[in-house]
Chains A and B, each alone.
Chain A
Amino acid sequence: MEAEQLIQEPFRTPRLHSFSMITLTQVAKNYDTPAGDYPALCGVDLQIAAGEFVAIVGKSGSGKSTLLNLIAGIDRPSMGEVVVNGANIREFSENRLALWRGKNIGLVFQFFQLMSTLTAAENVMLPMDFARIISPRQRRTRALELLERVGCTRHADKLPSALSGGEQQRVAIARALANDPPVVLADEPTGNLDSSTGKAIFTLFGSLVRSGKTLVVVTHERDVAEKFTRVVELSDGAMIAAGTPDRQGATR
């Protein structure tokens, strides 16, 4: 019930914190390809404050997903620094990155990417098993709370194949919140959903921001722009605009 209310609740401006949750300084990323060196990002400077709801937009191949991957520690920058929640993650080993990510970052993917052999509740509990912050006894209770928050309580013991796309994405959001990370990153989370379900998902994201999470979303959705505190536009690996939705293009 609460989840339904959250989803239906009109968007309000979130409370922004003064400190920077995500700081990218002169970040560049090059890929070695058979055709030669390919610059996916070049010299990006970006600061995202705690509690911000930032959209990253741009054409295909503009570097959106690369930027998100760098923030998540999924990829490493070729140059520059990435500091998230006070940690410079560039020097982290793969294992340390995984543990750090489990505690600090919640990830939501376009194709949901739930473990097909685990039920919804088990999918939500899986990051808790990895991070071991929450005691084993409390994990199911917390998973059910999170599923309730995204409106999927009744699907707790269903396998992903029994859920619709929207339901799967909500479960994926619940999974992203499993260890109560300060940052949630979503890569085109509504790209595989119909528009009404997509709107519901963004409303859910809004509620997360209101609860103090920092959200960075790669998206093509233009009609939800008013929900963001800031929109960052990329083109050919460079940041060409950053500002509030109504002032998008101010820094262009």
Chain B
Amino acid sequence: MTASTRKAVGDAWQERARSGFVVAAIALGVAAFLALLASYAILTRELHSGYLATNPASAILHTDAVDDHMLAAVGADPEVGSAEAKRMVFGRIEVGPAQWRNLLLFVVSDYGSIRLNKIVPEQGAWPPATGEMLIERDAVQVAHARIGQTFVVRTADRQEHTLRISGRVHDVGQAQARMENSVYGYITPRTLAQLGQKPVLDLLYIQVATNKYDEAHIRHVAEKVKQRLEAEGYRIHGVDVPVPGKHPHADLMGTLLLAMFSFGVLLLALSGVLALNFTAALMAAQVRQIGIMKALGGTRGQVARIYLLQALLLGGVATVIGAPVGIWGTLLLCRYMGMFLNFDVTSFGIPGWVFVLAAMVGLGVPVIASAFPVWRRTSMSVRLALANTGTPQDHFGRSVVDRMLAGIGGGVRPVILSVRNSFRRRTRLVLTCTTLTCAGLLFMTALNLRTSMIRTFDRLFAAQKYELTVNFGEMYPVEKINRAILSVPGVIRSENWIVTQAVIARTGRRAPRVTDASDTFRVFALPADSKLFVPVLAKGRSLRSGEDDGILLNQTLAAQNPQIKVGDHLMLQMGSAEMKGRVVGVDREPMAPPPIAYVPISVLERVHPGMANFTGIAIKKTESASIESMRNAIDSNLEREGIRGVGISSKSEFRVAVDQHMLMIYIFLVLASCVVAGVGGLGLATTMGINVLERRREIGILRAIGATSRMIAAIVVLEAVVIAVLSWGAAVLLARPLSEALAGMMGRSMHGAFDFSVAPLGILVCLTAALLVAATASLLPAASALRLSVREALTYE
């Protein structure tokens, strides 16, 4: 080892406590950077390959019943690679005494030859026998199910049937069942018949033969298939075209990982700030030694190399420590994200370039952070360097800020001393505050976002005055529906609506051209003066009573058709019915809802006089048990009236699912703020350590003139508290604009907007956390200040 290397190692070792803080911070940054970059690489690779392995359908056509002729005709189309019939049935499953969950049953004829949207058997029977159901593996936890167990289910016939769980499967294409609070089951048409349903499959899944990832091509082929089938007399109610080759949650994962990666970069930058602070202080104390080395013949480059080598060594140690932590973090994150997105990570292999990049970053950050202080101190002339006392010269009082600070008095000198001490090294103060401010900023932003989300959803959900909605699937006389529902004790009000599928057809002199006619959406025809549906308007106005041509779009439909403006004329094609109308406004709804248009019920009452297929119900009590008993009572009454409800949905249950989705973002931001607070704490500890080191003599003087250990410790801790409070103040100032910007971004991702609100609790919690971090971070420096004897402190140079 050369003398230069020995010096680099020796100096770092001599300042081992502070070196340790720097290494810890950089290691944390490297670990986060590696974990997030590697996770991004693994998850995008695995999600993509996992999803493609299911051979996802290019388009799904909704029809009355897929028969062999239809399958053969579509299958023979040279532009169609595969065609398959399936069905989705909604129902309820009893997962515990009086505890019901939504059930989504997938009906497949031949489990041995599933070609599209494949599912993978994991345990138990395959295929399911009649009267049996396979359960999606994540839904096992929702249903608290085990193989062999029998469950009571209800579908449209409202009869209770039993289904035995005979096996477990994995369906990559479905969202996590726990998050949706639903159970996914897989049955055969025979079982469907046992459940009181017609054993027909009404969904035609097709995959195009070529250009599988070209959405325009897929839409073109789907449209041709639709037209051909319609020409043969089949009714096609709608066509869904999922984004080709993309997992339904790929965007969500991408957004989350991008946010996490940005956080990793931020963490690295902050650890670089810490390294900069450390090197700057070290270099200030080394000036005389630099003078001596230069006097002995060392060139500036040679001297600078010693200190840059030291930074490189710290970076090396940090990388060696941080890399395994990063790998461990990668495994953890990939497993969690895989579980969250319901897919298996088959290979945790981290690409080599991730390691190379992490190593470059780990080694580079401290070197880059040290470059400026090293360059500055090594440029000093030998004469000036040798004349240096070893401790930085104090020029407090020469700047305007110093004089302003001196003007701010107070009754307790030790407090004034602490406050003013905080401002002595202002560059160091700014750098330290930056890290702590970032932590506070993330934390308050997380809480602000959460509050904004909750308030927005509270408002949007509150606008929906109904608690339950009943989907009948087909038209029933309003009179019968009312008799069944209004006689249930606890029902406050009900409203009967007509729900149907629609497309926007090109029409009207001012109507915009609609190029893609295959996009279907739901139309809710309801009373213009509805008491149960009160829109929260993003634009325009709501429907007016007596108005026959008003169309209210929800935010998703408006976002999907940006060319349509409030005031535009449209023609809606709703099966055989047509409506010429004018867009009056845009409604805001929670999360990213499916595209919906609201029209006056009078439009469809002409086609279905005195009939309805959907009812909104307001009830007195909205606790879970009451909702369930109401649901049962409504079900029984409907049965008595001979009405078959497809499903009864609860607003409260939907709200739980919405909150679950948002929880992820909130938890991530809070965790991120905690990690940054950790780095900030290390930074503050380093800064306070350096400050105490530089003020050894001053501490000696304080003790010489009567300061007790408690007072000295209090002065050190108070200085840290001042820095923490300053950081908190900056975070409070910046949190609002940042939260507003992020809330805006999140709102736009849901085609809507968040009602921004500040969480006052966040401000207080953050202040408490800042004080705790300050107290903790100053413990070591305060202890080191107390360890000094007065004589040592006074003779310190």
Contacts and interface: CB of A to CB of B under 8 A. Distances in A.
Contact of B405 (A72, A117, A131): A117
B598 to A, nearest CB: 67
Interface stretch (A49-57, A102-110, A208-216, A223-231): A102-110
A75 B411 CA distance: 32
A81 B414 CA distance: 33
A130 B397 contact: no
Interface string B591-632: 000000000000000000000000000000000000000000
Contact of B706 (A99, A113, A125, A162): A99
A125 B409 CA distance: 12
Nearest to A176: B705
B709 A95 contact: yes
Interface in B393-434: 394-398, 402-403, 405-406, 409, 411-414, 416-417, 420-421, 423-424
Contact of A160 (B397, B423, B708): B397
Contacts of B397: 116-117, 158-162
Contacts of B697: 113
A61 interface: no
Contacts of A69: 790-791
B790 A74 contact: yes
Nearest to B703: A98
A190 interface: no
A97 B397 CA distance: 32
Interface in B369-407: 394-398, 402-403, 405-406
Contacts of A160: 397
A162 B413 CA distance: 19
B706 A136 contact: no
Given A72-B704, A129-B414, A117 B398 contact: no
Interface in A48-68: none
B698 interface: yes
Interface string B680-710: 0000000000000000011001111111111
A149 interface: no
B711 interface: yes
A122 B408 CA distance: 12
A11 to B, nearest CB: 27
Contacts of B421: 117
A232 B423 CA distance: 44
A101 B705 contact: yes
A19 B273 CA distance: 61
Interface in A26-61: none
Contact of A126 (B409, B413, B424, B794): B413
A232 to B, nearest CB: 20
A159 B709 contact: no
B417 A117 contact: yes
Contacts of A99: 706, 708
Contact of B424 (A103, A117, A129, A162): A117
A101 B708 contact: no
B423 to A, nearest CB: 8
Main secondary structure of the interface of B (DSSP, over half): helix
Interface residues of B, number: 37
Given A113-B701, A115-B701, A159-B396, A74 B417 contact: no
Contacts of B790: 69, 74-75
Interface in A121-143: 122, 125-127, 129-131, 136
Interface residues of A, number: 37
A207 interface: no
Contacts of A122: 409, 413, 416
A179 interface: yes
A165 to B, nearest CB: 15
Contacts of B701: 109, 113, 115
B260 to A, nearest CB: 42
A175 B705 contact: yes
Given A115-B417, A115-B701, A116-B397, A130 B406 contact: no
B653 to A, nearest CB: 62
Given A109-B701, A115-B698, A74 B706 contact: no
Interface string B178-192: 000000000000000
A91 interface: no
A143 to B, nearest CB: 10
A127 B414 contact: no
A119 interface: yes
A132 to B, nearest CB: 10
Contacts of A94: 703, 709, 789
Contact of B711 (A117, A125, A130, A159): A130
Contacts of A162: 397
Contacts of A119: 406
A157 interface: yes
A157 B404 CA distance: 12
A3 interface: no
Contacts of A131: 706
Contact of A130 (B707, B791, B794): B707
B414 to A, nearest CB: 6
A162 to B, nearest CB: 6
Contacts of A126: 413-414, 417, 702, 705
Interface string B729-754: 00000000000000000000000000
Interface in B631-678: none
A29 B706 CA distance: 23
B496 to A, nearest CB: 77
Contact of A98 (B403, B412, B709): B709
Contact of B794 (A74, A101, A125): A74
Nearest to A100: B706
A107 B791 CA distance: 13
A16 interface: no
A154 to B, nearest CB: 15
Contact of A75 (B405, B409, B791): B791
B395 A130 contact: no
A118 interface: yes
A118 B394 CA distance: 13
A85 to B, nearest CB: 15
B415 to A, nearest CB: 9
Contacts of B703: 94, 98
Contacts of A72: 704
Contact of B398 (A75, A101, A136, A161): A161
Given A74-B794, A159-B402, A95 B708 contact: yes
Contacts of B702: 115, 126, 130
Interface in B700-725: 701-711
Contacts of B413: 118, 122, 125-126, 129
11 contacts: A74-B794, A98-B708, A115-B698, A115-B702, A116-B394, A116-B396, A117-B402, A117-B424, A118-B416, A159-B397, A179-B706
Interface of B: 394-398, 402-403, 405-406, 409, 411-414, 416-417, 420-421, 423-424, 697-698, 701-711, 789-791, 794
Interface of A: 69, 72, 74-75, 94-95, 98-99, 101-103, 107, 109, 113, 115-119, 122, 125-127, 129-131, 136, 157-162, 175-176, 178-179
Given A95-B709, A115-B417, 8 more contacts: A75-B789, A94-B703, A98-B709, A101-B704, A118-B420, A130-B711, A159-B397, A159-B403
Closest 7 pairs between A and B when the two form their complex, measured CB to CB: A102-B706, A159-B397, A161-B397, A117-B420, A130-B706, A116-B396, A126-B413
